[in-house]
Chains A and B, each alone.
Chain A
Amino acid sequence: MNAPALPADVLEQLKTIVGEQRVKTDHDSLVTWGVDWTKHYEPRPSVIVFPASTEEVQAIVKLANTCQIPVIPSGGRTGLSAGAVAANGEIVISMDRMNKVLSFLHADRLVRVQAGVITEQLQQYAEQQGLYYPVDFAAAGSSQIGGNIGTNAGGIKVIHYGMTREWVLGLTVVTGKGDILHLNKGMIKNATGYALHQLFIGSEGTLGIVTEAEIKLTRQPQDLKVLVLSVPDFAAVMPILHAFQQRIDLTAFEFFNDTALQKIMAAGHAARPFETESPLYVLLEFEGRFEAVVDDAMSIFEHCMEQGWILDGVMSQSQSQAQALWHLREGISETIAPFTPYKNDISVLITHVPAFIADINAIVAANYPDFEVCWFGHIGDGNLHLNILKPANLSKDEFFEKCKVVNQHVFETVQKYNGSISAEHGVGMTKKDYLGYTRDAVEISYMRELKKVFDPQGIMNPGKVFDL
């Protein structure tokens, strides 16, 4: 790796800002903090800095402006769109040291955290207060609140609780220009013009760096019941969702195909939950606090079975069984990681899901007749993760070349149904070329103008989401 060396004086100034120990240029650090979960780009940052306060972040950004060196906000680096990847000699600003919970207001159920707090740490903090932070997904043990805000992370509970956006009531940010803004300050009601904090949510570090956030918490769900159902085909999934949602508030509605289950079992990560094999499985969850709700669920199940939408199914009887069933779904991403999967994270309105899936399946069958396809995702939100596994005999480059061709077709289909090429993982670098399938040219030009307001010199995470 031949990372462009930083001018010596810049390095010295960075050390003055954060301290000698908090600036790293050794090879191991550069390759560690220079990448996220994607492995498509070679990391080439020039330096990693670890600020401990908003003021230190501001000083770094101001320095970067003066020297015209791009900076990359870096969180838990679990991102799946190469948003936090430094491939061009950038300064990586790692939020790892800004990992403190700062305060908690009981009456407001409002917690103030530094951006480097790990998602799971926030979940645990909420639990200690007898409350709940509902944004959850398989990477929560490593991802940071700042990264979740950067990508507007979703996950497995969106159907009931919404995305990260719903839970952020205030942000402290350092803009690309170097100003510190305290946005919305935790208020639920604030009718004083533009909700600037919302602009930063999902902006993937292109407008500025989030240093602190005020996050709303909610009551803990109780007696969560998990059902795993075997389903004969895609056409049955939406009627099942509809039948349950008519009468029960679902906290999750996920699906995965048998290929995904086979991979999990082969890796020894879980056992088949019941004998009945089927091409698809649905996992759903609800609060079974009251007997009547559980009875309702059973009668809906019965109805679905009579209709032929469900072949078989199990229901958790304890929290440990609930966790074991969740593992069937949550373990997929990590289990298939060694297959260097080609990932898509697409969404359409629930109404369009059946037609959309039929189209995509036809494309996949025509183009990848012999590739293994893992389908899974948050289908209750219209969010599907299409994962194509690399056959062992193809090189990474050959494989991605082939996948690129099909991407075109997949994204054309997304566009046909007015859907999104990235439901929750962000655009970063991996989806940048396809942004036009979801946002039209005029809209993108407004995004460009907006970026200029916050980041006139274009130093904040350049080359991500769109090119200037």
Chain B
Amino acid sequence: MKVLVAVKHVVDYNIKPRVKPDGSDVDIAGVKMGINPFDEIAVEEAIRLKERGVATEVVAVTIGKANSQDTLRHALAMGVDKAVLIQTDVEVQPLAVAKLLKSLVEREQPQLIILGKQAIDDDLGQTGQMLAALINAGQGTFASVIDVKAGEIEVTREIDGGTDVVALKLPAVVTTDLRLNEPRFIKLPNLMMAKKKPIETINAADLGLDISPRLKQLKAADPEPRKPGIKVANVAELVEKLRLAEVL
């Protein structure tokens, strides 16, 4: 079984993002970037499937600027077999990504496509679902367990108030949630090997798809600052304040 994993190059999640002074967007100039954490989980899951003998080949794909290669190297160092960069300098939104992924799915014919449930930069959380619709495959979103059986997979999904188990015919699309696995640390020898591995680059423009942005971002703003707390002297005062705040 061939597995395709989509990975995105995003701002490192430990970085506190800053809004540009003109409020147009988040300022990512010179900011540390890395693999989207949910995609790292996706890569880990695919590699585990391969280590268990379930998957035969794992292909990682990223869509974006040339520097997205760093994230593909990360995936290669973790253990994927092949890496593809669909290169574009245009801002790609979920539908565009889904279309581009579809073209690769058609070429690679994977049985399982694993994506992160969302990318932590724009938090849109739509790509996996859109891809499933475009390729007419079943989808198991927010996966915390993936169990591959003959000809189908069972996906345990994280939903409000519990879990939900779905069975999907292959090929299928799965998006990962945090609890699916804990990605491995990368070994230095693998890191060195990954540096030397080839990365296939496809020019997005050559695929003849309409990937122009459909959504327009109006503005970016810092979250409301937290209001300072107050100190109360005793329980009676606490109760009083809670009443006033209509919490009690």
In the complex, the answer to whether B12 meets A319 with C-beta atoms within 8 Å is yes
B93 to A: closest C-beta gap in Å? 25
A273 to B187, CA, bound (A): 10
Please indicate the chain B residues that have their CB under 8 angstroms from the CB of A319 in the complex: 12, 14-15
In the complex, the answer to whether B35 meets A317 with C-beta atoms within 8 Å is yes
Q: Count contacts on B: residues with CB < 8 A to the other chain.
A: 19
Please indicate the chain B residues that have their CB under 8 angstroms from the CB of A321 in the complex: 185
A313 to B189, CA, bound (A): 8
Please indicate the chain B residues that have their CB under 8 angstroms from the CB of A324 in the complex: 185
* Contacts A/B (CB < 8 Å), 28 sampled: A223-B32, A227-B188, A228-B185, A271-B182, A274-B185, A274-B187, A298-B188, A298-B191, A302-B192, A312-B187, A314-B186, A314-B188, A315-B186, A315-B191, A317-B35, A317-B74, A317-B185, A318-B13, A318-B14, A318-B34, A318-B35, A318-B37, A319-B12, A319-B15, A320-B13, A320-B14, A321-B185, A324-B185
In the complex, the answer to whether A318 meets B187 with C-beta atoms within 8 Å is no
B11 to A: closest C-beta gap in Å? 11
Chain B CB within 8 A of A301 CB: yes
Residues 273-316 of A contacting B (Cβ, < 8 Å)? 273-274, 298, 301-302, 305, 312-316
Please indicate the chain A residues that have their CB under 8 angstroms from the CB of B195 in the complex: 298
Chain B CB within 8 A of A325 CB: yes
Please indicate the chain A residues that have their CB under 8 angstroms from the CB of B188 in the complex: 227, 298, 301, 313-315
A312 to B186, CA, bound (A): 11
One digit per residue, 1 when the CB lies within 8 angstroms of any chain A CB and 0 when it does not, for chain B 170-208 equals 000000000000101111110110010000000000000
Please indicate the chain B residues that have their CB under 8 angstroms from the CB of A298 in the complex: 188, 191-192, 195
Tell me which of A312, A321, A324 has the highest count of chain B C-beta atoms within 10 A of its own C-beta.
Answer: A321
Number of A-B contacts (CB under 8 A): 49
Give the interface of A toward B (CB within 8 A). 223, 227-228, 271, 273-274, 298, 301-302, 305, 312-321, 324-325
A271 to B: closest C-beta gap in Å? 7
In the complex, the answer to whether A305 meets B187 with C-beta atoms within 8 Å is no
A296 to B: closest C-beta gap in Å? 12
A389 to B: closest C-beta gap in Å? 27
One digit per residue, 1 when the CB lies within 8 angstroms of any chain A CB and 0 when it does not, for chain B 3-38 equals 000000000111100000000000000001011010
B91 to A: closest C-beta gap in Å? 24
In the complex, the answer to whether B185 meets A325 with C-beta atoms within 8 Å is yes
A302 to B192, CA, bound (A): 9
A319 to B35, CA, bound (A): 12
Please indicate the chain A residues that have their CB under 8 angstroms from the CB of B12 in the complex: 318-319
B133 to A: closest C-beta gap in Å? 32
A389 to B15, CA, bound (A): 40
In the complex, the answer to whether B34 meets A317 with C-beta atoms within 8 Å is yes
One digit per residue, 1 when the CB lies within 8 angstroms of any chain A CB and 0 when it does not, for chain B 124-138 equals 000000000000000
Please indicate the chain B residues that have their CB under 8 angstroms from the CB of A314 in the complex: 185-188
A320 to B37, CA, bound (A): 10
**The 6 residue pairs across chains A and B that have the minimum distance between CB atoms:** A319-B14, A314-B185, A313-B188, A301-B188, A318-B34, A273-B185
A325 to B13, CA, bound (A): 17
Please indicate the chain A residues that have their CB under 8 angstroms from the CB of B187 in the complex: 274, 312-314
B62 to A: closest C-beta gap in Å? 15
A301 to B182, CA, bound (A): 25
B8 to A: closest C-beta gap in Å? 14
Known contacts A223-B32, A298-B188; 12 additional CB pairs below 8 A are A274-B185, A274-B187, A301-B188, A301-B192, A302-B192, A315-B191, A317-B34, A317-B74, A317-B185, A318-B13, A319-B12, A320-B13
One digit per residue, 1 when the CB lies within 8 angstroms of any chain A CB and 0 when it does not, for chain B 211-246 equals 000000000000000000000000000000000000
Please indicate the chain A residues that have their CB under 8 angstroms from the CB of B74 in the complex: 317
A182 to B34, CA, bound (A): 48
A352 to B: closest C-beta gap in Å? 30
B66 to A: closest C-beta gap in Å? 14
A324 to B14, CA, bound (A): 13
Nearest A residue to B78 via CB reads: A317
Please indicate the chain A residues that have their CB under 8 angstroms from the CB of B13 in the complex: 318, 320
A52 to B: closest C-beta gap in Å? 17
A318 to B: closest C-beta gap in Å? 5
B88 to A: closest C-beta gap in Å? 24
B222 to A: closest C-beta gap in Å? 16
- CB-CB under 8 A for A305 and B185, given A317-B74, A318-B13, A318-B14: no
B204 to A: closest C-beta gap in Å? 26
In the complex, the answer to whether A316 meets B14 with C-beta atoms within 8 Å is no
Nearest A residue to B71 via CB reads: A317
Please indicate the chain A residues that have their CB under 8 angstroms from the CB of B189 in the complex: 305, 312
Please indicate the chain B residues that have their CB under 8 angstroms from the CB of A227 in the complex: 188
A312 to B187, CA, bound (A): 7
Tell me which of A223, A274, A314 has the highest count of chain B C-beta atoms within 10 A of its own C-beta.
Answer: A314
In the complex, the answer to whether B185 meets A316 with C-beta atoms within 8 Å is yes
Please indicate the chain A residues that have their CB under 8 angstroms from the CB of B15 in the complex: 319
A318 to B41, CA, bound (A): 14
Residues 149-178 of B contacting A (Cβ, < 8 Å)? none
A327 to B: closest C-beta gap in Å? 12
A99 to B: closest C-beta gap in Å? 15
A301 to B184, CA, bound (A): 19
A274 to B77, CA, bound (A): 14
Nearest B residue to A295 via CB reads: B195
A324 to B40, CA, bound (A): 16
A317 to B76, CA, bound (A): 13
Please indicate the chain B residues that have their CB under 8 angstroms from the CB of A325 in the complex: 185
Please indicate the chain A residues that have their CB under 8 angstroms from the CB of B14 in the complex: 318-320
Nearest B residue to A305 via CB reads: B189
A194 to B: closest C-beta gap in Å? 44
Nearest B residue to A322 via CB reads: B14
B9 to A: closest C-beta gap in Å? 12
Nearest B residue to A271 via CB reads: B182
Please indicate the chain B residues that have their CB under 8 angstroms from the CB of A312 in the complex: 187, 189
Please indicate the chain A residues that have their CB under 8 angstroms from the CB of B191 in the complex: 298, 315
Please indicate the chain A residues that have their CB under 8 angstroms from the CB of B37 in the complex: 318, 320
